[in-house]
Structure 1
Amino acid sequence: MHTRPALELVIAGQELVLICSVDGVPGPVRIFWYKKSNKKPMKAKIQNSLNEEFKITMVKKRDAGEYYCEANNGRLSFRSKSVTINVKVPVSPPGLTLSPPGDRAPEGDEVTLQCKAQRGSLPIQYQFFREDVFLKEIEVTSLRTSSFSFSLTAEHSGNYYCTADNGLGAQRSRAVHLSVITPVSPPVLTLSPPGPWAVEGDLMTLHCVAQKGSPPIQYQFYHGDVTLGSSSIPSGVGASFSFSLTSEHSGNYHCTADNGFGSKHSEAVSLSVTVPVSCPVLTLRAPGAQAVVGDVVELHCEAQRGSPPIQCWFYRNDVTLESNSSLSGGGSSFNLSLTEEHSGNYSCEANNGLGVRRSDAVSLRVTGLPGLRLWWGTWWSFTVRPGEALPQSGTSFIMRMSPWGAAWPPLEEEHSSTSP
């Protein structure tokens, strides 16, 4: 017995013809075909020709095995030699899977490519490719699957596929895309204009950028623990957030960056918002309603708004008298012991480094001479210089009267007074 095709290796799906040739046996002859694993004949046929065929129109894997035929003319029986048929199944298109699954993986992770053909006779040769660049070849003899692992870098992004071949034609898998994501580095926060100090009303811009990290990157800005704003950036240029400064914006600022593989924080940046001084108000504080020679007058200069420290200057007729610094607000004061020369216009200036502001002028008139101060009232009241004797009871004296009080010694009008 022989086969057509002549090879004993048969590919699944082909037609297989078993041919039983009978020579020298008087006929008619009865032909039986057997598969060695079966006791019953597969087919029996009476024929007078020298050759008889048995066809398997589409060979399957289960058709593999040993076959033989037997000729019988009723008196004699003849058995052919066995023919071994090996059915080899071509590989099916393999499937490629990634482990861990997904089309995004962080740089530094280990990824495993697994290529598996559901059908196909062993051995199978597997090959792995990235963007048509050969990576690895593995032959398997016991399983229809093969794996290949490696540690990811940014250069490993791309399309991957594998092929399977058992000598009957290579089959290719579908491509699988993998994006290797570089996790963000800790971002850097900068202020524009730069520096730890800024003036109320200025426009401040916060800029946050991570030097490493695959886009898109989500940036968020914080004042203390309060979120100011967020922005998703498709490229690696960083994000900015602008606002107009008020005194409440002093404090620590930071930002975060996140591209889906862990949020990173910037270092904190401190900002002090300085408020320029408002026009100060000058106040004169005298012992009485009218300043006279010898009084001590307090000059108090205070700006209602302005970040300390505030430097104050005091002026009389535009001549500098004194300067003081206030470290915590509340204004500055200056004491002045009055003489007649201290009459004039007083003003003050305030400055905290952001510009000088000047108060309105306050006029001061110093009257009288040192010694006697007189007020109208129920009793006459006198002021006597040290070392001078008090008037005796019933003493008569003359005083020069003025709208602002009286002076000692008496000069013009005569009045009698009795000491109480």
Structure 2
Amino acid sequence: MSETVNTRHDWSGHRALVIGGSIGGLTAALLLRRLGFDVSVFERTPTNLDGRGGGIVLQPDTLRWFVECSDQHPEQVSTSTHYVQYLGMHNEIIHREDAPWSYTSWGTFYRALLADFGTADYHLGEYAAGFDEDVDGVEVRFTSGRRERADLVVFADGIGSPSRRRISPDTKLEYSGYVGWRGTVPESQVTPETFELLHDSITYSMAPHTHINVYPIPSTDGGLAVGERLLNYVWYRNVPEGHELDELMTDKRGFLAGVSLHPGAVQDRFVEEMRSAATRLLAPAAAEVVLRTEQPYLQAVYDAVSSRMAMGRVALVGDAASAARPHAAAGTAKAAANAWALYDALSDSGDIAEALAKWEPGQLELGQRLMRRVKEMGTRSQFDCTWVPGHPDNRFGLYGPGQ
């Protein structure tokens, strides 16, 4: 490994901009800085992102920064379970297997990455509206009036990335036919029976055209001890596209959300219906977690697959390039894999456009392969009702089931 480090190209004296300050953007920024780039991150949200998001299943690519590069270690930012299990309608275990997984909360992981990057070159409240490239570099224009130039620009600005339209104009957001209800509850607030059943597993509860999975994540303040964590869930429910989806995704103020509704924004009548449905459709332990959630939130599940991820000295990574349904628990891992592959490409080349051109095909293939798999998983669980508990095809993984 030391030989590889010694022979990588040194990009000192060059500047890189990362647009999007979430987990994927911070991973890319840290790796570009490691190559010698002077890196600035620009995040559109005006306030700190710390409190956002729910749980993340940790794949090797996601954790790789903390394994190889950070003074912080994986066990400081994650918790784990030993099993995957499926519950029947009376909390009976209908399938259980040894399958260790680690998890983090979005906030815990974000704080750890930001601690490594620092805040001096991390800018909030800056929305990148457009860019142009010339022979000397790339200029990014922000709605604030700010303009920034760099040798390399990486867009990691999520599923709604405005720059994807410029780089891959044929890419459209396609609605899957269902939404994901999400929420968290402290382990200490569920009954002892439910805690005992759920605390050491990823737990599934299935019903016709719907399913939920539940797993523990660090608490809001990063607590990792069993009994002090949060139980996190995603519950997939079918909602037809059109007026029904529009009504559901309209927040309490009367504004139609594009992809997600944050905690406290979902109309009360839909929360009440969701809680009623949980009692009817889910195993009692899973239903209890849903019912005890004070402020559940919503994400409409969309697909987006880019046909291009690079244009000259500009790259798309993570959900900005392609957004995959969460069934393989691989979205964050894909963003990290994109960043690590970019790191490798730039390590081997002294020309940014050339490095991006070599990097792009493999990353496009990775996104397309993941998309095909999660679409099949969604079809089995939400429409065909052919999801078989414990079947290997249903396992998490970025590169394939269990991989």
- For normalisation by structure 1, the TM-score amounts to 0.16
Q: Normalised by the size of structure 2, how large is the TM-score?
A: 0.16
Structure having the higher strand fraction is 1
Answer 1 or 2: higher relative contact order, Cα 8 Å, separation at least 6.
2
